[in-house]
């Protein structure tokens, strides 16, 4: 369990206190009763059911409340000065051992979330806008937040921060501009600049949660390269990843998915397993049968290395050899160990395996490629 002493030390910093007051302004909890506010405007009632008593802060209320926002119903368990979701608060309690939901612990919990976003050093140093950009996925009211909820402007956030004693780091001096900063030598020589195709934008909610999923499954990173020719593929792959992750833990939207996997290691493990289970879909987005054809063509071309150098050939041979060994064992070596049901299951599995291998080689064969080319050519003919 982490030691909250460090959080207490940072909570005493004037810039941290000013940043917290700025957060409360955006979350609508800046008043004296801000620590008691629940999503939708209600107030904590505690275990005794009577609001306005010390018992209000016994624990997070963990009540799911539905309200309309922008005409759309939104359900949330947010509560307290920093509108902690129940899952988020439970994660903080597990990490720091907070004994109750008191105002002091709420402040410490907010500092912990800032630290978790790697923005605490920026807050202390007065790098205000850097800190806001790092925290706007934690608090939906911050400028630039991707969750589609109402946000405060950066200017208003700065004003609120400064009004509560926050200071700003000195701006870095700008380097003197030179002629080279304004002239592209290559474009000047060609007297033209070729316009580059624009990448298709990714849905903001999907883009917001994607970095956390890549942290869970690092090999996802290689699927999301930049470049206009890959943008459509990236978007499709991202949608598959996020959909599988939400389904794995029953998250209703990307924000709930993001907050859950950050606060609950068990949920993160379920999401990781779901992404791995859907990896074949991501590989298909990454190239599928066309990529397999291209890889196999290297070995099939005249003067090439020969099919026996193709790794897929030897893998396929292994898949074919395995059924042969099983059949030999079933018929001749340990025939008494196989009853009728087991034999049927083995034969079915072998047929399925042979089907996979056959489909791979038929799908990547020259003749299949030729059919694809002929089909594409026919589609270009008038009247077809």
pLDDT at 348: 81
Please give the DSSP secondary-structure letter assigned to residue 166: -
Tell me the CA distances in angstroms from 123 to 13, 17, 85, 161, 180, one per residue in order.
9, 10, 23, 11, 36
Chain segment 338-368, per-residue pLDDT in tens: 888 888 888 887 887 777 767 666 655 544 4
pLDDT at 143: 93
Given a contact cutoff of 8 angstroms between Cβ atoms, the answer to whether 29 and 83 are in contact is yes
pLDDT at 341: 82
Q: Mark whether 27 is an active-site residue.
A: yes
pLDDT at 378: 42
Catalytic residue among 27, 138, 160, 254: 27
- DSSP H or E segment with residue 188: helix 185-190
Q: pTM higher than 0.85 for the full model?
A: no
Given a contact cutoff of 8 angstroms between Cβ atoms, the answer to whether 18 and 45 are in contact is no
Low-confidence ranges of the chain (pLDDT < 50): 179, 188, 191-200, 225-231, 286-290, 366-384
pLDDT at 178: 54
Chain segment 138-169, per-residue pLDDT in tens: 999 999 998 878 899 999 999 999 999 999 99
pLDDT at 212: 74
Treating both helix axes as pointing N-terminal to C-terminal, what angle do 204-216 and 265-277 enclose, rounded to 10 degrees? Answer: 100
Four-way CATH pick for 5-47+56-163: 3.40.50.300, 1.10.530.10, 1.25.40.340, 3.40.50.1000: 1.10.530.10
Six-digit token string for 340:
């009728």
pLDDT at 73: 84
Query: What SS3 string covers 236-285?
Result: HHHHHHHHHHHHHHCCCCHHHHHHHHHHCHHHHHHHHHHHHHCHHHHHHH
């Amino acid at each position: 369990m982490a030691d909250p002493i460090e959080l207490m030390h940072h909570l005493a910093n004037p810039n941290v206190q000013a940043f917290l007051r700025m957060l409360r302004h955006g979350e609508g909890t800046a008043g004296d009763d801000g620590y008691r506010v629940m999503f939708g405007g209600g107030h904590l009632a505690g275990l005794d059911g009577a609001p306005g008593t010390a018992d209000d802060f016994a624990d997070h209320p963990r009540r799911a409340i539905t309200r309309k926002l922008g005409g759309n119903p939104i359900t949330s368990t947010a509560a307290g000065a920093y509108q902690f979701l129940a899952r988020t608060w439970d994660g903080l309690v597990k990490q720091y051992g907070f004994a109750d939901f008191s105002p002091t612990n709420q402040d410490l919990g907010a500092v912990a979330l800032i630290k978790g976003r790697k923005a605490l050093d920026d807050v202390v140093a007065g790098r205000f806008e850097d800190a806001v950009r790092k925290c706007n996925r934690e608090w939906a009211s911050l400028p630039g937040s991707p969750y589609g909820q109402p946000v405060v402007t950066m200017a208003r956030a700065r004003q609120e921060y400064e009004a509560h004693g926050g200071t700003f780091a000195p701006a870095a001096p700008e380097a003197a501009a030179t002629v080279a900063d304004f002239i592209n030598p290559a474009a000047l020589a060609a007297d033209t600049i070729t316009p580059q195709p624009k990448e298709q934008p990714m849905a903001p909610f999907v883009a917001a949660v994607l970095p956390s999923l890549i942290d869970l499954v690092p090999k996802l990173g290689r699927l999301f390269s930049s470049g206009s020719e890959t943008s459509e593929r990236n978007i499709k792959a991202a949608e598959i990843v996020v959909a599988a992750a939400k389904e794995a833990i029953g998250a209703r939207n990307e924000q709930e998915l993001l907050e859950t996997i950050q606060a609950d290691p068990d949920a993160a493990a379920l999401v990781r397993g779901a992404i791995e289970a859907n990896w074949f879909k991501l590989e298909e987005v990454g190239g599928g049968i066309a990529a397999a054809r291209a890889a196999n063509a290297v070995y099939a071309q005249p003067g090439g290395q020969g099919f026996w150098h193709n790794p897929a050939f030897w893998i396929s041979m292994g898949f074919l050899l395995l059924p042969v060994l099983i059949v030999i064992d079933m018929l001749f070596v340990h025939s008494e160990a196989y009853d009728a049901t087991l034999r049927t299951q083995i034969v079915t599995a072998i047929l399925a395996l042979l089907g996979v291998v056959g489909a791979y080689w038929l799908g990547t064969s020259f003749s299949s490629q030729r059919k694809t080319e002929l089909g594409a050519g026919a589609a270009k003919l008038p009247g077809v």
